[in-house]
Structure 1
Amino acid sequence: MKKILLIVLINLLSFTTAQSQCWYTSFLKDYEAGNVDFRKFIGESKDGMGVYRRLYDGGSTYVLKNATYLQKFEKLSPDVASRIAKFTDDKIGSTLAKFLDDCDDPEFLNFINKSENSKFVDAFSNHKLTDAEAQNIGDLVAELKLNEQNTEKIEKWLVRSDKISIMKGRFKVADDFEKFSNRSIASNTDIPCKAWGGNGNRTHYTQLQAGEPKVILDDALVDPIPIATDEFGARTYKTLYHDSKLTKNAPWTPNQSSEIIDKFTSGNGVLTDTKGLQYVELEVKSSANYFKDYGGVLKTGDKIRIYKNEIYKSISNGDGKSIIETIKIFK
């Protein structure tokens, strides 16, 4: 107890008496009455006092004193935690407790903790979104769904918003736009194919899966002549990568970013010359059944080489029925 009191006193130096008195009085009372697990959490956690403070400020009463849930809450980034702490939390099975139970899913936890996904956390905790905010969130979720990311828990917490119908409406718009783009490329239409000088003799694959973690390519235009063959017979093919986005602000999915886009901006990967990274290689993961619908040479286990100067995205006019612009990502 002496150690905890010392920690409290040190923390209080950062606050005025008026700011601190309520929460630390509550903390001392809860610590005195708390069970062994609660005391252990406070004593061993790197940020036990901060965790308690964020929950107290948010109005928590159940999770605030429960060591199991305190450990779950501690895994949230401070910024996310401060907003999620505002969920109702007055008894077992509270909204906050249910949300933290869903955070046992590492994929969901990792997703909400990323700063670029802060809009989702805002939407979880804010029922009163504007139409524009709801549409933007819908576009973001649609992008994840199109790339086969599990959005079950994301949608579960978005459904609390009174604008959920607008969000769900965007899912179909995104799906329609991707199919429209696929057809445009298959027919070698001016927009978008003019952006890269036409398809030539390349084979057009849609929803090709490659890499680990898996990336799903909206459109992969693969040159039929391999540029390398390994000792096991697997071949490497030069590939142009195209993606469809509903809006200019629609983000790349986490795997698209980490496995392709970010590598050309961070310097990670294989260097081909002194100017920096020129391409990334990904192993093809699509199954043999997938390739039955295509007449090209690509097969499971082959590699595709995506060059920095051959990555494009097409932007919708908003209704998903036409392309207003095709952008070359790296000039």
Structure 2
Amino acid sequence: MVACSPMATPKIVTVGGGTGHYTLLTGLRDLSVRITAIVTMMDSGGSSGRLRDEYGLLPPGDFTRCLVALSEHPEALKELLGHRFRSGSLGGHTLRNLIFTAVQELTGSLPLTVERLHEIFSVKNRVLPVTMDHVDLVMHLENDRTIRGEASIDNLSDMLDAPVLSVYLDPEAQAYPAALDAIAEADLIILGPGDLYTSLVPNLLVKGVREAIAASRARAMFVCNLMTKPNETPGYTVEDFVGTIAMYLGEARLDAVLVNDVWPSEGLEEYASAGSEPVVTSPDKPLASDLLVPADLLFGGKLIRHDPRKLSAAIVSLARQRSWW
């Protein structure tokens, strides 16, 4: 992997899904970089799941959320695009997902739909599905229990009754060629933040993705999650997250792991009561000092979440310090 020319506009590829991906893109949007967001397409719940089942579409939720994040539209229009209907036959659907459905019916072509939506949402950068194949995410636990569907995994109310052994796609999926091209041309690839097994790893399960990352000249960075999830990553440390990502990356290697190191003095009790705790490093299995990059990434307020501006600033600072661009 080599650094890009200091005279070139850096090309950043983000890989993920969910609100974490939205937060990352919101911060990167104002930088002088070229962004390609590669988005998981395995959502099976809520509005996305209903549209997938009723219309035979790929789930639009994560994809259209990223379009909104990178949109050049005024904030008022973004708010409208993100509006979720509360009742009636449209109850639960977002306007952005309904627009996706309408354009897909008009074009009859998913690649053309992707192109048209960039125009409608006024996106100068790119958002690409990781695959155009219809697949389900399957989780296999160490007690041989199998859970099918992203929504089933994500909506478990209690902790899993056994640790996660593996996740896989059924059937297998082929990567969208344009996504592989973007990875090949990237200077920096950012994975996360996002739900480990339902938003991040599914992208790496798509055939061709991890091979493209391994073959790319780009540097690879993982933005670690802030909090554990009781139904997915109970008790996970930074090292557990990194180890899981590294396992699914295969031959590809991470060059940096960005991790929050500033925590509020109060307000974590509510999270603890729900079985969620801060993701911190473990003294028993420390990461290499040149891999771990601690920074203040926390957004002010009651909710524990990444601050888009702090996150983008930390990424730029690291890239410049290490002469990645």
TM score, norm. by length of structure 2: 0.25
Q: Higher RCO, 1 or 2 (CA under 8 Å, sep at least 6)?
A: 2
TM score, norm. by length of structure 1: 0.25
Larger radius of gyration: 1
